[in-house]
Structure 1
Amino acid sequence: MHHSGYATRVAAALFTAALLGAAIAWPKAGSKLVEGAADFAAKADGAPMAARACAIGEPALAGPFAPVADVLSVSPLGGVTAPGETLPAPYIRINTRSGEKAFERIETTALAPARADIVAIERHVERDPYGRAEGLSWTVHFRSCENISFYYDRIDDIDVGLLERAGGLRAFSEFGSPDHMALETRVRVKTGDVIGTSDGFDVGLHDLGAKPATLARPERYRTNSFARAAVFDASPSLMALITPETTKARCALDYLPKEQQDAWAAKLGDAWGIRKAKGDNTCRTALVDTPDAAQGAWFTDAAHNAATTKVSAIALSSDAIDPDRLIFALHGRLPSLKPAMIASASGKPGRAAPTGAVEDFLSFEKGEGRINTPFADVTDYEMHCYQRLRTNFIGPLINGVVLLQRQQSSDNGGPDILKIEARGDVTSCVDLDEPWSFTGNETTFYR
Structure 2
Amino acid sequence: MRHSGYATRLAAVFFTAALLVSAIIWPKAGSRFAEGAADLASKTDGAPMATRVCAIGEPALSGAFAPLDDVLSVSPLGGVTAPGESLPAPYIRVNTRSGDQTFKRRQTNALAPAKADIVAIERHVERDEYGRAQGLSWTVHMRSCENISFYYDGIDEIDPSLLDRAGGLRAFSEIGSPDHMALKTQLRVRTGDIIGAANGFDVGLHDLAASPAPLARPERYRSNTFARAEVFGASQELIAAISLDTTKAKCALDYLPAGLRDVWAAKLGDAWGIKRAKGENACRTALVDTPGAAQGAWFTDAAHNASTTKVSAIALSPDAIDPERLIFALHGRLPSLTPDMVATARNTSEDNVVQDFLSFEKGEGRINTPFAQVNDYKMHCYQRLRVNFIGPLINGVILLQRQSGPDESAAGLLKVEARGDVVSCIDLKEPWAFTGDETTFYR
Q: TM-score range by the shorter chain?
A: 0.7 to 0.9
Alpha-carbon distance, 1:307 to partner = 2.4
Q: Distance in 2 between matches of 1:150 and 1:235?
A: 21
Alpha-carbon distance, 1:276 to partner = 1.5
Q: Distance in 1 between matches of 2:6 and 2:190?
A: 27
- 1:32-71 alignment to 2 at 5 Å? 46-71=46-71
Tell me the alpha carbon deviations over residues 351-388 of structure 1, each in whole angstroms, 9 at most, x when there is no partner: xx445493211000001111100000002111001111
Alpha-carbon distance, 1:98 to partner = 1.1
- 1:87 corresponds in structure 2 to 87
Q: Is the 8 A contact 1:62 1:114 kept in 2?
A: yes
- 1:271-286 alignment to 2 at 5 Å? 271-286=271-286
Alpha-carbon distance, 1:303 to partner = 1.3
Structure 1 residue corresponding to 2:398, chosen from 397, 402, 413: 402
Secondary structure, counterpart of 2:81 in structure 1: coil
Distance 1:291 1:415, change over 3 A: closer
- 1:145 corresponds in structure 2 to 145
Q: Is the 8 A contact 2:141 2:242 kept in 1?
A: yes
Unpaired runs of at least 5, structure 1: 13-40, 345-352
For residue 59 of structure 2, what is the amino acid of its counterpart? P
Alpha-carbon distance, 1:285 to partner = 3.0
Distance 1:266 1:240, change over 3 A: same
Q: Is the 8 A contact 2:291 2:411 kept in 1?
A: no
Secondary structure, counterpart of 1:388 in structure 2: coil
Secondary structure, counterpart of 2:145 in structure 1: coil
Q: Is the 8 A contact 1:81 1:314 kept in 2?
A: no
Q: Is the 8 A contact 2:119 2:143 kept in 1?
A: yes
- 1:110 corresponds in structure 2 to 110
Distance 1:422 1:150, change over 3 A: same
Tell me the alpha carbon deviations over residues 287-331 of structure 1, each in whole angstroms, 9 at most, x when there is no partner: 011000000000011111112232222100000000000000114
Q: Distance in 1 between matches of 2:8 and 2:111?
A: 31
- 1:215 corresponds in structure 2 to 215
Secondary structure, counterpart of 2:260 in structure 1: helix
Q: Are residues 1:201 and 2:201 paired?
A: yes
For residue 99 of structure 1, what is the amino acid of its counterpart? G
Q: Are residues 1:365 and 2:335 paired?
A: no
For normalisation by structure 1, the TM-score amounts to: 0.87
For residue 96 of structure 1, what is the amino acid of its counterpart? T
Q: What is the root-mean-square deviation of aligned Cα atoms in Å?
A: 2.3
Q: Distance in 2 between matches of 1:111 and 1:166?
A: 18
Percent identity at matched positions? Answer: 77
Q: Is the 8 A contact 1:78 1:87 kept in 2?
A: no
For residue 71 of structure 2, what is the amino acid of its counterpart? V
Q: Distance in 1 between matches of 2:361 and 2:53?
A: 46
For residue 329 of structure 1, what is the amino acid of its counterpart? A
**Larger displacement relative to structure 2 (110-119 or 168-177):** 168-177
- 1:383-402 alignment to 2 at 5 Å? 383-402=379-398
Distance 1:355 1:125, change over 3 A: closer
- 1:430 corresponds in structure 2 to 426
Q: Are residues 1:75 and 2:71 paired?
A: no
Q: Are residues 1:444 and 2:423 paired?
A: no
Distance 1:430 1:109, change over 3 A: same
- 2:232 corresponds in structure 1 to 232
Q: Is the 8 A contact 1:75 1:271 kept in 2?
A: yes
Q: Distance in 1 between matches of 2:142 and 2:279?
A: 31
Distance 1:403 1:6, change over 3 A: closer
- 2:157 corresponds in structure 1 to 157
Secondary structure, counterpart of 1:182 in structure 2: strand
Alpha-carbon distance, 1:82 to partner = 2.9
Q: Is the 8 A contact 2:86 2:308 kept in 1?
A: no
Q: Is the 8 A contact 1:78 1:86 kept in 2?
A: no
For residue 323 of structure 1, what is the amino acid of its counterpart? P
**Larger displacement relative to structure 2 (394-403 or 266-275):** 266-275
Q: Is the 8 A contact 1:83 1:310 kept in 2?
A: no
For residue 177 of structure 1, what is the amino acid of its counterpart? S
Q: Is the 8 A contact 1:318 1:326 kept in 2?
A: yes
Secondary structure, counterpart of 1:220 in structure 2: helix
Q: Is the 8 A contact 2:109 2:197 kept in 1?
A: yes
Q: Distance in 2 between matches of 1:439 and 1:76?
A: 37
Distance 1:3 1:57, change over 3 A: closer
Secondary structure, counterpart of 1:358 in structure 2: coil
